[in-house]
Amino acid sequence: MVDNITIVSASGRGSVTMANRDYAGYWLGTVDWGEVTGQNKLYSYYNQLGETIVSTAIGSRELSVEGWIIEHSGVTLRQRSDFLNSFISPVDEYDLLYNGWKIRFRPTSSVIYSRTRKSDNALLRKFLIQAICPQPFFTGVEETVAPFDFSAKQFRFPTGFGQASPVVFATTDKLFNTRIHNPGGFATGVTIRIDFIGDVVNPRIKDLQTNQLIGVNRAFANGDRLTMVTVPGRKSMTLRHEDQSEENVIKNRHVSTSWLQLAPGSNIWAVECDDLQQRVNMQVRVCFSPLYLEVE
């Protein structure tokens, strides 16, 4: 049972929290996540018994939230209704947050209210929000970060404080490849961030299991940050210089660039550049959100 949700406007128009038995705000009733069905394309060869599934696509999800507005704590029923009416709009997008997960939706209509006196009177109003989720997946509220660098503790005893040479407590190793685990059930796009602390020419990230890669053909200097986004609908390559100015570098993408996706399960990705000695000048992180169809 869903007992608490928060709806956040994707355009920055605020948020509203609804909870079960919340007399001071919006009393949450039922949340219907809808169903997601697979759409199969079938093909039958000559004299074949049965059919062969050629491909499967996943469609959108319908979503509905039902609850009550209650007059309480000096805030009138009219005021709460006016806020909800202005907040929920069919031309805006929202994130619904629940128990550490979120899903994006767009209302299919304005807020729907009950027409019966039992559910719509001077003390309370029953409401219904109906929406569609074009991307039917739940993701975590926070992104998962997979760094290519890691620190290893290497304490020394005795410490020797006061000596001229520094005391080493930890070291950072620069990995050329790393294993990234995607716990979700579907391939997902990523955000690759590379911070440069020295000169690097033509950096690339390569999937060692598929031999696909994504990269930019140009030279980078200390203080630059390259961000490559492979999320469908948000694909981009942006360079932020040390002076905080930004440049679109998609025109400099590697000729063999593929918009890498993290497959479900284990993935092995590698960092490359023209001169591998320059690997020490790159700090690399891969950020992603695993995709799930159901979370309740």
pTM: 0.78
CATH no., domain 144-288? 2.60.120.860
Strand partners, 105: 94
| CB neighbourhood size of 97 (10 A) | 17
Q: Round to whole Å and give the CA distance between 219 and 201.
A: 4
Instruction: Kindly state the tokens that stand for 262.
Output: 């993290």
Give yes or no for residue 154 having a pLDDT over 70: no
CATH no., domain 4-140? 2.40.30.200
If you average pLDDT over residues 239-268, what whole number do you get?
A: 93
- Write down the residue that tokens 């911070």 correspond to: 195
Q: Domain extents for the chain?
A: 4-140, 144-288
> What pLDDT does 170 receive?
45
One-letter identity of residue 75 = V
CA 155, 161, 163, 165: dihedral to nearest 10 degrees? 30
Of 260, 271, 267, the C-alpha closest to 181 is 267
The helix (H) or strand (E) run that includes residue 96 is: strand 94-98
Strands 101-107 and 112-113, by their bridges, are unpaired
The answer to whether 258 touches 228, Cβ cutoff 8 Å, is no
Please write the tens of the pLDDT for every residue from 188-205: 999 999 999 999 999 999
Which of the four pLDDT bands, split at 50, 70 and 90, describes residue 222? Answer: very high
> What pLDDT does 166 receive?
55
> What pLDDT does 108 receive?
95
| CB neighbourhood size of 206 (10 A) | 20
If you average pLDDT over residues 173-199, what whole number do you get?
A: 88
Give yes or no for residue 220 having a pLDDT over 90: yes
The answer to whether 152 touches 170, Cβ cutoff 8 Å, is yes
Please write the tens of the pLDDT for every residue from 60-71: 999 999 999 887
Which of the four pLDDT bands, split at 50, 70 and 90, describes residue 263? Answer: very high
| Environment class of 215 (CB within 10 Å of its CB; exposed 0-12, middle 13-18, buried 19+) | buried
Q: Round to whole Å and give the CA distance between 64 and 66.
A: 7
Give yes or no for residue 159 having a pLDDT over 60: no
